[in-house]
Amino acid sequence: MDWGFLYIFILSAIEIFGDFQLRFYAQTNNVTNLGWGIVGYVGVVYFLIQSLRFDNVLYVNAVWDGMSGLIESLAAYFILGDRFKSPSQYVGLLFVITGIVLLKLT
């Protein structure tokens, strides 16, 4: 089991949770969403530290950025109904997937 990669995946998922909660807070001023957003980012710090126990900053940051961007984009598309304005932006997501695969090939 690649624990470092798993921690980076969890880190990305928790970051998305925090981002969505903070978006909801920004739209509604519901303090509960603010609280959950802050809790999400405390989780981000915890899982970032765990990820760094297994891999170096260069790898963790590259995979985290790619995975977070991909997962959050998909969640925004399917859950929030967000859309890109240009088809070339969807091609960019394919490059993100390619980058993650290439980073994982060690």
Rounded CA-CA distance 82/73 in Å is 8
Name the residue ranges covered by the structural domains of the chain.
Answer: 3-104
Rounded CA-CA distance 38/31 in Å is 11
Of the candidates 13, 104, 10, which has an alpha carbon nearest to the alpha carbon of residue 51?
Answer: 10
What is the per-residue pLDDT across 81-91, written as a single tens digit (0 to 9) for each? 889 999 999 89
Which residues in the chain come in under a pLDDT of 70?
106
pTM comes to: 0.80
**pLDDT for position 106:** 66
